[in-house]
Amino acid sequence: MKLYQPGDTSRAICPHCGKLVSTTFAYRDVPFEDGSGVVKGILAAVCDECQNVIAIPAQSTPAIRRARDAAEISLEVSIPAPEVEILDAAAYRVDPSATTRFRKSLFAFYLQRLRHSEETAEMLRRDFEAWNAVKTEQRKRVSRGIRIPHRRLSFKISPKTDRDVQWLMETSGMNKTDTVRSVVMEIEKDLLGPNTPRELRHLQDIAAVVNA
């Protein structure tokens, strides 16, 4: 990949001038293709004749993607309080100094692992139904009439994570709440089970970065 510097020149077809023109690289505010916003100050090829941005070098695309992904989407569900506690116990297992901020990383990590095949999503739904039946029965037996409250779980997620959630919902046929709860189930199985979780080291590295 060629790394351009501001002031570098090149030649390109300008769609505004309708001909081959010389261009100069400079920092410009560039709108997203879908017009949903503007990325400020990225290096772009500017037409020397009409001053319009006519090309974006490869080195600038991560900045565009980052700006787009920073547009956050709110994921909010209300789940049984013991399941929020599962999430927090799992976070503690990974890193005793983890804060509630790490909940989201755990959720996104396990969500990411699940979005591989329709078969996985189908199996997840069946596992979740069985798990939910066991949990409901357990809570009924142990609590002897004490009401189990629900707690709100609220994450700010990137459009990419939101697409993963939507994919899992559509593929598994579960609603949003059950989709989130099924990921909590996966976290419980992996991190709070009797075996050392396969991904523990990896997750500890992620926790260190999130806490940084």
| Closest to 49 in 3D by CA, of 29, 19, 26 | 19
Q: How far is the CB of 197 from Zn ion (least distance, A)?
A: 57
Q: How far is the CB of 15 from Zn ion (least distance, A)?
A: 8
Q: How far is the CB of 31 from Zn ion (least distance, A)?
A: 17
Binding part of the chain for Zn ion, among 2-10, 50-58, 81-89, 197-205 by CB under 5 A, reads 50-58
- Rounded Cα–Cα distance for residues 111 and 105 (Å): 10
The yes or no reply on residue 17 touching Zn ion (CB under 5 A) is: yes
Backbone angles phi, psi at 39, to 5 degrees: -95, 125
Binding part of the chain for Zn ion, among 16-24, 66-74, 82-90, 166-174 by CB under 5 A, reads 16-24
- Rounded Cα–Cα distance for residues 180 and 86 (Å): 13
The yes or no reply on residue 50 touching Zn ion (CB under 5 A) is: yes
Binding part of the chain for Zn ion, among 39-47, 104-112, 124-132, 188-196 by CB under 5 A, reads 39-47
The yes or no reply on residue 69 touching Zn ion (CB under 5 A) is: no
The yes or no reply on residue 118 touching Zn ion (CB under 5 A) is: no
Residue 23 vs 179, nearer CB to Zn ion: 23
The yes or no reply on residue 45 touching Zn ion (CB under 5 A) is: no
The yes or no reply on residue 47 touching Zn ion (CB under 5 A) is: yes
Site for Zn ion in 153-212 (CB under 5 A): none
Which of 16, 65, 140, 202 binds Zn ion (CB under 5 A)? It is 16
Binding part of the chain for Zn ion, among 15-23, 33-41, 56-64, 114-122 by CB under 5 A, reads 15-23
Count of residues interacting with Zn ion (CB under 5 A): 6
Backbone angles phi, psi at 211, to 5 degrees: -80, -10
| Assigned token pair, 73 | 């989407």
Binding part of the chain for Zn ion, among 41-49, 84-92, 110-118, 168-176 by CB under 5 A, reads 41-49
List of residues contacting Zn ion (CB under 5 A)? 14, 16-17, 47, 49-50
